[in-house]
Amino acid sequence: MAGAQAKGPFLENEAAVPETTPELFGGKRIGVLLPLPLGGPAGGVYDYRCSADLALQPGDFVEVPLGRRSLIGVVWNSGAGDIAAERLKDVIARIDLPPFPEISRRFIDWVAGYCMSAPGAVLRMAMSVTDAFEPPRSVKAWRAVSMIAAERKKFSPQRQRVLDVLQDHALLQSTELARQAAVSPGVIRQMAESGLIEAVAVPLTPPYGQPDALRQGPALSPEQRHAADILTATLRAGGYGAMLLDGVTGSGKTEVYFEAIATCLAQGKQALVLLPEIALGAQWLQRFEKRFGALPAQWHSELTGLERRLTWRAVLQGDAKVVVGARSALFLPYHDLGLIIVDEEHEAAFKQEDGVVYQARDMAVVRAHLGQIPVVLASATPSLESLVNVESGKYQALQLPDRHGGAQLPSMHLIDLRRDKPARGSWLSPTLLAALDQALAAGEQALLFLNRRGYAPLTLCRDCGHRLQCPHCTAWLVEHRFHQRLQCHHCGFATQMPSSCPKCGSTGGFTACGPGVERLAEEAALRFPDARRLILTSDTVTGPAKTAALMRSIQEHEIDLIIGTQIIAKGHHFPNLTLVGVVDADLGLNGGDLRAAERTFQLLHQVAGRAGRGSKPGQVFLQTYDPDRPVMQALLRHDRAGFLEVEAGDRDMAGMPPFGRLAAVIVAGSNEAAVDELARDLARNAPRMDGVTILGPAPAPLAVLRGRHRRRFLVKCRRDVAPQTVLRRWLQGKGRKGDPAIQVDIDPYSFL
Ligand code: ADP
Ligand code: ZN
Ligand code: ZN
């Protein structure tokens, strides 16, 4: 793609981004953006006076007074001028750090404008690091004296938790260790006294290494070489370019983008890799280390305070060369970012649903455009959005059609559950059972996939049929036998199984309805007692060290039968796995989700891709009640193009994304009448504009969430109409905060 005419995906409605010219403010009025979710006319920028002896420039971190406290913000502009000069408060101090880079500042303004959030709320994502502004000092941290001793002996559950946590994080400060292990400081003290753990002074070495740009990667196949050459040429040419690295699972996409990272490193610039679920990136990290001889800096919610602080500073100072992270890593203040990779770009996990609601994959493209750098989106099942961008010439497609080493795609089979019925109270059809018998007898590994955590999705009273429901949400409580409790998957509410029915008082007990992975595991244990079984769900896989150990045990064939949810679907490479059984292929197809079929195709295609990655061919069985559906037929034939053509046709006809634009407006509050009143008021004042359809209000499928009643509107716009313009006009002067509140979701991915 020619760099000069390359266009960003959203340029048609790009928010006005002021070009900030570096200028010194001495003794003058300045505008400081505070990392707070405050709106207001100046967008959260507050005016201060810069005393004459301070030389400040845009981007400087400054400590300023706010009410009775002080906090740290960023010098943003020359101020709004709405406060009289004599009432201005003085900046307290300039923080001794490099300035928040100009591109990062423009990015924050852009994201705030596009997502209709307060810039301060976006800035907060870029600054949410405690202590980062204090000068570095050495700190006291705990470590286990011996890991061997830790494995051999029997400890109290509390002590064991401390040792487990220290296995995941070699060093932890007291408060962090106590929090993660859920123990009191006394437990830590006693363990130190008995010599199990010891305190050391940490010299604050950064939690990452220096990747070596010159280290050789594996010899690439001709297709891989071709794709890698285009990437590296784009990097060398400089400027923006968006590329879709589209290759079947196992085709070597990771090896190819590693080449681009090597080139970026050789240019002395930083590279960012966004992954959907960083906690499961242990295998990815190992590969990176093997390729570059050092670990990259990581950025995700599991980091300790110390790790965050060191990493944040290192990113700002340009010392951290490669950052791998979850979506929030996009907002780090990169000193000189040269490349962005978004792996598994189709994953819905890139959409953040609370606070600032944004799609990290889309914002990564915007960030690349602002920084005039290349961005690579990688996937085996690209989103329709990205494929349409390829068709319109906005993205360049790089294809890797074959699996590395010639492994074949697995053969696909549909099992019609209406004919091939599982026995009563079981979930596996005779055909799937026979295939499992055969694979296990041949000494091969098998995977049973069911994307549903817990034991059963619904629990009923045997006597009156009462369904156990979350007290705070319109949702059933899910039984988790592993944790011995009932959980709400929407708000996190958890409780014990009641001893009597809350409705009729009967103590006759409860019946579980439908399967979750834990129940499926029960059936597998009965049916295949000799197979070494492993349940993989987010409830059982906790922490990177445990994840890595479990993945290793599968790779080394210490496991015969894996029973798992979607956490097993991605990225992992198990050469002995030849059989995949999808227990309920229809699971994701119900409900009003615009992308339900697309997601089902992506998820099941990825799960299927786990089979037959080694030398032995793989087989995949999909159990479904509706084998004639286009998505099932497409999976059967590995016919992605055919599926997408039907899907694109349907969406285009309905004016849905990516052919039209969508925004959701949600009214939520604790008082149902007030919520309805506000929703009706909005409906009465809905703007009538050409190319805009406003649907609703309707009760949200999750009509009550965390005790708040919810009504939804859907704003559907023609491609050339920006929903932000419609929404600004519509919601002007309406309270966005408070109770009830109005939430805006641009490009919604969740319709609950
Ligand atoms: P993808 O990211 O497309 O799923 P990977 O990059 O994970 O594919 O590659 C799949 C497997 O094949 C990995 O184990 C990887 O190390 C191996 N592989 C891919 N390309 C090569 C190559 N050129 N030389 C050696 N091994 C390769
Ligand atoms: Zn009852
Ligand atoms: Zn709930």
Q: Name the token pair of 34.
A: 């505070």
The Cα angle at residue 552 between residues 211 and 180, in degrees rounded to 5: 75
What angle (nearest 5°) sits at the alpha carbon of residue 38, between those of residues 33 and 39? Answer: 95
Identify the nearest ligand to the CA of 492 by its number.
3
Q: What pLDDT sits at residue 8? A: 39
Which of the two residues, 706 and 283, has the higher pLDDT score? Answer: 706
732 vs 544, more confident: 732
Mutate to test the pocket of ligand 1, among 254, 400, 574 (most ligand atoms within 8 A of CB): 254
Q: Which ligand is nearest to the CA of 494?
A: 3
- Which residue's C-alpha comes closest to atom 15 of ligand 1? 252
Confidence (pLDDT) at 718: 95
For the chain, the farthest-separated pair of C-alpha atoms sits apart, in whole angstroms, at: 85
pLDDT in tens, 419-478: 999 999 899 999 999 999 999 999 999 999 999 999 999 999 999 999 999 999 989 999
As a whole number of Å, the CA-based R_g of the chain is: 27
> Which residues, chain by chain, have CB under 5 Å from ion ligand 3?
470, 472-473, 488, 490-491, 493
Mean of per-residue pLDDT scores for the chain: 88
Q: What is the pLDDT of residue 72?
A: 93
Rounded to an integer, the average pLDDT of 94-111 is 94
- In the block, tokens 């500073």 appear at 313
Closest-approaching ligand to the CA atom of 487? 3
Q: Is the pLDDT of residue 376 over 60?
A: yes
Which helix (H) or strand (E) segment holds residue 161: the answer is helix 157-168
Please tell me the predicted confidence (pLDDT) of residue 60.
95
Q: Among the atoms of ligand 1, which is closest to the Cα of residue 571?
A: 4
- Least reliable range by pLDDT among 14-23, 96-105, 157-166, 382-391: 14-23
- Among all bound ligands, the one having the nearest atom to the CA of 286 is 1
Structure tokens at 495: 């409780």
Q: How much is the pLDDT for 250? A: 78
In sequence order, what are the residues at sequence separation of 6 or more whose Cβ sits closer than 8 angstroms to the Cβ of residue 274? 324, 325, 326, 327, 329, 330, 340, 341, 342, 343, 350, 360, 361, 364
- 659-664: average pLDDT: 95
- Closest atom of ligand 1 to 287 CA is 16
- Residue with the smallest CA separation from ligand 1 atom 5 is 252
Q: Find the mean pLDDT for residues 199-224.
A: 86
**CA dist., res. 70 & res. 61, Å (int):** 13
Adjacent-strand bridge partners of 75: 32
Closest ligand 1 atom to the C-alpha of 219? Answer: 23
pLDDT of residue 7: 37
Kindly tell me if the per-residue pLDDT of 283 is higher than 90. Answer: no
User: Which residues are within 5 Å of ligand 2 (an ion), measured at CB?
Assistant: 461, 463-464, 466, 501, 503-504, 506
How are beta strands 692-705 and 619-624 bridged, if at all?
A: unpaired
What spacing in Å lies between the alpha carbon of 507 and ligand 2's midpoint?
Answer: 8
Instruction: Tell me how far CA of residue 174 lies from CA of 143, 179, 195, 306, in angstroms.
Output: 10, 8, 16, 11
| Ligand 1 pocket, CB under 6 A | 218-221, 224, 247, 249-255, 404, 573
Tokens 């009273």 -> residue: 461
Report the atom number in ligand 1 closest to the C-alpha of 248: 3
pLDDT value at position 24?
Answer: 57
Residue 27 has what pLDDT?
A: 67
Q: For ligand 1, atom 23, which residue shows the shortest CA distance? A: 220
| For ligand 1, mutation pick of 404, 572, 602, 613 (most atoms within 8 Å of CB) | 404
Structure tokens at 532: 């070494």
The model's pTM is 0.86
